[in-house]
Amino acid sequence: MTVTELGRASGPHGEVVLRRRTTEHGAVHLELVVDGVFAMDDVDTSTEQALATEALARCPGDGLRVLVGGLGLGWTAATALADPRVAAVDVAELQGPLVEWAGRGLLPALPHEDARLALHVTDVADHLTASPGHYDAVLLDVDNGPAFLVHETNAGLYSDAGLAAALAALRPGGVLAIWSSDPAPELAARLTGLPGVVGVEHLVLPVERDGRRYEYAIVLGRRAPAEP
């Protein structure tokens, strides 16, 4: 196996490393390490893509506005852009260097020149607070899940107040979807208990990797539609 570093940079939120791994069989994969924590690779991105497709399947109509929280390797954002009903995809990403590498085309999954795409270097929590009632879908994948944080400061996102802020960034009827590397029934229960949320679902998505079976999860909830 050989590993080639494509980018390494340090900033206020720690170090971010983008690297390419080539196996002895010639398979080539991208990997992302954030603040010393393995964030993801592109061996199987089916659940990162499902984060977008499952949420958008629950959004009727077109002209849809989508927020993606965490850029990563760009798979969730790319999948949202692949839906022709989507008019705008904002990505909130903490790591400025990663956004810069995306702009240089170093994330091959991401159609970075799509005019509907806007990349913002910011904490998604701040972006949510600044965007009341704006989005049809908010897709959060900033950690390995609520139980395995990349940054301890992200814990607030999964608190009652953080979830309420994410719901408030949706227009009435809009969909919040959160990715997790493990089933997250506690998160689904917390979301269900919030005022103004309906239709909470907890999808468990099995993935086979290296001969092992993993269970990832997506928690979805809808901001209650406006009264007629």
Ligand X SMILES: C[S@@+](CC[C@H](N)C(=O)[O-])C[C@H]1O[C@@H](n2cnc3c(N)ncnc32)[C@H](O)[C@@H]1O
Q: Residues interacting with ligand X, by CB under 6 A?
A: 34, 39-40, 48, 69-76, 92-95, 98, 123-125, 141-142, 150-151, 154
Maximum distance among all Cα pairs of the chain, rounded to whole angstroms: 61
Residue 97 DSSP SS3: helix
Smallest distance from ligand X to CB 44, Å: 11
Spatial CA neighbour of 176 closest among 112, 222, 218 = 222
The least distance separating ligand X from the CB of residue 18, rounded to whole angstroms, comes to 10
Closest C-alpha to 60, from 225, 200, 227: 225
CB 33 within 8 A of CB 40: no
Minimum distance from residue 71 beta carbon to ligand X (Å):
5
Residue (52 or 88) nearer to ligand X, CB:
52
| Of residues 179 and 193, the one with the C-beta less far from ligand X | 179
Residue number with CB closer to ligand X (40 or 117): 40
- Min. distance of Cβ 49 from ligand X in angstroms? 7
Q: Which is nearer to ligand X, 126 or 186 (CB)?
A: 126
Contacts of 2 (CB under 8 A, 6+ apart): 21, 22
Rank residues 161 and 198 by Cβ distance to ligand X and give the closer one.
Answer: 161
Contact indicator for 102, 96 with CB cutoff of 8 Å? no
8 A C-beta contact, residue 172 and residue 132: no
Q: Which stretches of 94-169 are assigned E, i.e. beta strand?
A: 117-121, 135-140
Q: How far is the CB of 227 from ligand X (least distance, A)?
A: 33
Residue type, 115: A
